[in-house]
Amino acid sequence: MSNAIVNKADTRPAGAGPVRVMIVDDSAVIRGVIARWIAADAGLAVAASVSNGRAAVEQIKAVDPDVVVLDIEMPEMDGITALPLLLKACPKAKIIMASTLTRRNAEISIKALSLGATDYVPKPTSVGAGDAAEAFRRDLCDKINALGRRRQAAVRAVPAQGGALSLRKASMVKPQIVAIGSSTGGPQALNQVMAALAPHLNVPVVITQHMPATFTAILAETLSRHSGLKCTEGADGMMLEPGRVYVAPGDHHMLIQGRGGPIKLTQTPPENFCRPAVDPMFRSIAAAYGAATLAVVLTGMGADGREGARAVAGAGGTVLAQDEATSVVWGMPAAVAQAGLASAVLPLPAVAPEMRKILGLSR
């Protein structure tokens, strides 16, 4: 038995009305909790609720959801096995991996991103009352809304928002550091950018990607494998070395206290609901490096990075932003671009070449 529940009332053309969600989890309790959260959001609707990957694969084509929330550990067929089959049956669906926060599940979630999943959410040990459950609810519903609307726009072939953007002149000072901020869609984008940036990189790179603890260590390992660069989580007191990459560890803001470091990790309150957040890292680098800063804002929800980019621009540094067409969610880079803080707004494949040009790296 699949314990399937299909909401017949919500069967309507994809791209119209509420974002339609398929819930795939072997826990009836978790399916019920997520379904209640979705029902409480006027912009969302449960399209189907099933207890394993096999049932999801069997039903997804008929259900045609905008978003699938996919558990990793399930009987009959687990999430990582179901993922490519779901994408084959419904290529435009956005899939969010959901798993309890263990190293194994974090590794599987990062692997799932490379196989076509769009994002991930770590499940708390309890989905009852409490701060962790509320954070999970907000994170999950925000991602469902953002990704679902993106999928609906793609189905309807809605043109990119575009419009004229006010661009700043790039700094005339050669950068001595690269700072990158990203969120939803960030791991895939970072892999692409860092692999293309790697040859002859001669400045340190610091990265804040919205991720929980455990995930950030695995992200650093993944970036190392893809780029050939030495990538590590930042640690308190660590000095920066040219050609190395430092990833802000989950649950800590990462600050740079002077040219060359040291790194300072803090657990001051979240900013933009995030810790680590991009804004505090950008602000610290603007203070330390001034016009010798190259800041890059890649795909992600929300506006984290905008005020930090404002500090970089105010100090005379250069800011680049990813464009809408190639962003999984054009939130963070849009906030920077629409505030007139970017020197260029670029498709993802053009980001690393522009960075190499600004850094004066050989082709």
Given the residues 109, 182, 183, 284, select the one marked as catalytic. 183
245 in Cβ contact with 313 (< 8 Å): no
Point out the least confidently predicted range of 124-128, 283-287, 310-314: 124-128
Given the residues 25, 26, 304, 323, select the one marked as catalytic. 304
List, for residues 191-205, the tens digit of each pLDDT value.
999 999 998 899 999
Helix (H, G, I), strand (E, B) or coil at 7: coil
pLDDT at 327: 97
Point out the least confidently predicted range of 128-137, 173-182, 249-258, 272-281: 128-137
Fold observed for domain 5-155:
Rossmann fold (3.40.50)
pLDDT at 13: 45
Confidence grade of residue 132 (pLDDT, cut at 50, 70, 90): confident
List, for residues 287-310, the tens digit of each pLDDT value.
999 999 999 999 999 999 999 999
Confidence grade of residue 176 (pLDDT, cut at 50, 70, 90): very high
19 in Cβ contact with 143 (< 8 Å): no
pLDDT at 159: 60
Point out the least confidently predicted range of 144-153, 171-180, 234-243, 335-344: 144-153
Structural domain spans, the chain? 5-155, 177-359
Long-range CB contacts for residues 269-275, cutoff 8 Å, separation at least 24: 271/304, 272/302, 272/303, 272/304, 273/138, 273/302, 274/183, 274/210, 274/302, 274/304, 275/251
Question: If 0-12 CB within 10 Å is exposed, 13-18 middle and 19+ buried, where does residue 179 land?
Answer: buried
Confidence grade of residue 163 (pLDDT, cut at 50, 70, 90): low
pLDDT at 204: 98
265 in Cβ contact with 243 (< 8 Å): no
Average pLDDT over residues 172-198: 97
Q: Among positive and negative, which fits the CA dihedral 51, 54, 55, 57?
A: positive
Can 5-155 and 177-359 be said to share one CATH topology? yes
Residues 6+ apart with CB under 8 A from 40: none
Confidence grade of residue 16 (pLDDT, cut at 50, 70, 90): low
pLDDT at 164: 76
When the pLDDT of each residue in the chain is averaged and rounded to a whole number, the result is 92
Confidence grade of residue 19 (pLDDT, cut at 50, 70, 90): very high
Cα 202 versus chain centre, distance: 26
Question: Options 3.50.50.60, 3.40.50.180, 3.40.50.300, 1.10.8.60; which CATH number does 177-359 get?
Answer: 3.40.50.180
- Of 57, 348, 77, whose CA–CA distance to 186 is shortest? 348
142 tagged catalytic = no
Go through the chain and tell me how many residues it has: 363
Q: Among positive and negative, which fits the CA dihedral 145, 150, 155, 161?
A: positive
- Of 10, 85, 88, 99, whose CA–CA distance to 49 is shortest? 10
pLDDT at 4: 53
- In the chain, the amino acid numbered 304 is D
| CA–CA separation, 112 and 98 (whole Å) | 11
List, for residues 34-89, the tens digit of each pLDDT value.
999 999 999 999 999 999 999 999 999 999 999 999 999 999 999 999 999 999 99
Confidence grade of residue 363 (pLDDT, cut at 50, 70, 90): low
210 tagged catalytic = yes
Reported as half-sphere exposure (CB side, CA atoms, 13 A), residue 64 has a value of 12
pTM of the model: 0.91
Given the residues 26, 99, 210, 284, select the one marked as catalytic. 210
183 tagged catalytic = yes
pLDDT at 216: 96
Residue 24 sits at the vertex; the CA angle it makes with 22 and 29, to the nearest 5 degrees, is: 110
Looking at per-residue confidence, does 152 or 140 come out higher?
Answer: 140
| CA–CA separation, 132 and 124 (whole Å) | 6
Position 349 pLDDT exceeds 90: yes
Position 267 pLDDT exceeds 60: yes
Strands 244-247 and 205-209: parallel
